[in-house]
Amino acid sequence: MPAPRNPFKHAIAKGDLQLGCWLGLADPYIAEISAGAGFDWLLIDGEHAPNDLRSIVAQLQVLAARDSHAVVRPPIGETWIIKQLLDAGAQTLLIPMVESAAQAKDLVDAVTYPPHGVRGVGSALARASDFAAIGDYLTTARDEICLLAQVENQKGMVALDDILKVDGIDGVFIGPSDLAADMGFIGQAGASGVKTAVLGAIEKIVASGKAAGILTLDQDLQTSCRKLGATFIATEIDVTLFARNMRKASSDGRKLLLTEQSAV
């Protein structure tokens, strides 16, 4: 029996839109609720959210039973973290701060078993192999692993052409927030110079034949990226959705009740 099919990997390879949402609330209950919303993928954020391996596993377990595909972002693209996440059952990884082709090649090696890569062999203990129930896991796992590189600073943008030549990288994601900061526009991901750089990178990624992705709450940028052929587009963040609606609920409730009180 082979490793589980990765529908997200095959969808972006065909250029099919995959609509995503960022999960930063770091809780399996939230992941379960979000999985019912209809997103094609949900990003379990180990970089900016209080996730650790256990909380990531708990969210992977919840999402395994749902249609939304789990994409996991580690805090950094180190081999040992990648090994742990793959053994935990993550099949799609989004690696932050990729700045060179050499780094991209190291990431490909980290998701590939020897002799072509360096991924440690531990499938006998791993959730990824259904605890060794998947007999052909070792020889089929790589075909269903989707490796996404995040380019999100000027160094990475300069190296983008070379990164795009690295076999084994399925897609490149542009991070507008970090790119804006590195370009001198911290907190201004919507600055025209940043948007121009983002759209130019998306165009280049699509032209290379790899999948292009982004997270942006800016609807104009979302549609512009889609028009350029971007496929994995995250349009929301659970934390901002929740915080924004909680603030609105508090304000509306106070206005209503104070108005009622004054009407008495």
Ligand X SMILES: O=C(O)C(=O)C[C@H](O)[C@@H](O)CO
Q: Could you list the active site residues?
A: 48
Q: Which DSSP symbol is given to 121? A: -
Residues with Cβ < 8 Å from 71, sequence gap 6 or more?
8, 20, 41, 42, 43, 44, 92, 93, 94, 146, 148, 232
Stretch that binds ligand X, among 59-67, 104-112, 175-183, 247-255 (CB under 6 A): 175-183
Q: Which residue is nearest to ligand X (CB)?
A: 175
What residues have CB less than 8 Å from 114, skipping those under 6 apart?
Answer: 121
C-beta of residue 69 within 8 angstroms of C-beta of residue 42:
yes
Q: Which of 209, 255, 82, 76 is nearest to 150 (CA)?
A: 76
Residues in the chain: 264
Q: Provide the 10 A C-beta neighbour count for residue 185.
A: 18
Rg over alpha carbons for the chain, rounded to the nearest Å, is 20
**Considering only residues 149, 176, 204, 210, which one is a binding residue for ligand X as defined by CB under 6 A?**
176
Query: Which residue stretch of 75-83, 99-107, 118-126, 173-181 sits at the interface with ligand X (rule: CB under 6 A)?
Result: 173-181
Contact residue for ligand X among 16, 32, 48, 208 (CB under 6 A): 48
152 binds ligand X (CB under 6 A): yes
Q: How many residues bind ligand X, per CB under 6 A?
A: 8
Q: Single out the residue of 178, 205, 211, 233 in contact with ligand X (rule: CB under 6 A).
A: 178
215 makes contact with ligand X (CB under 6 A): yes
CB of 156 to ligand X, least distance (A): 11
Task: Copy the structure tokens of residue 204.
Answer: 């280049």
Q: Cα(42)–Cα(21) distance, rounded to whole angstroms?
A: 5
Q: Does 175 bind ligand X (CB under 6 A)?
A: yes
CB of 22 to ligand X, least distance (A): 6
Q: Does 154 bind ligand X (CB under 6 A)?
A: no
By CB atoms closer than 10 A (0-12, 13-18, 19+), residue 188 is: middle
Choice between 141 and 212, CB closer to ligand X: 212
Residues between 229 and 258 with contacts to ligand X, criterion CB under 6 A: none
Examine residue 20 and tell whether it contacts ligand X (CB under 6 A): no
Q: Residue 99 interacts with ligand X (CB under 6 A)? A: no
Q: Indicate whether 201 belongs to the interface with ligand X (CB under 6 A).
A: no
CB of 38 to ligand X, least distance (A): 21
User: Contact between 177 and ligand X (CB under 6 A)?
Assistant: yes
* Inter-residue contact 51 to 30 (CB < 8 Å): no
**Helix, coil or strand: residue 120:** coil
Question: What DSSP state is assigned to residue 96?
Answer: S
Compute the least distance from the CB of residue 240 to ligand X, in Å.
9
Show the tokens assigned to 154. Answer: 């000027």
Whichever of 12 and 215 has its CB closer to ligand X, that residue is 215
Q: List contacts with ligand X (CB under 6 A).
A: 48, 150, 152, 175-178, 215
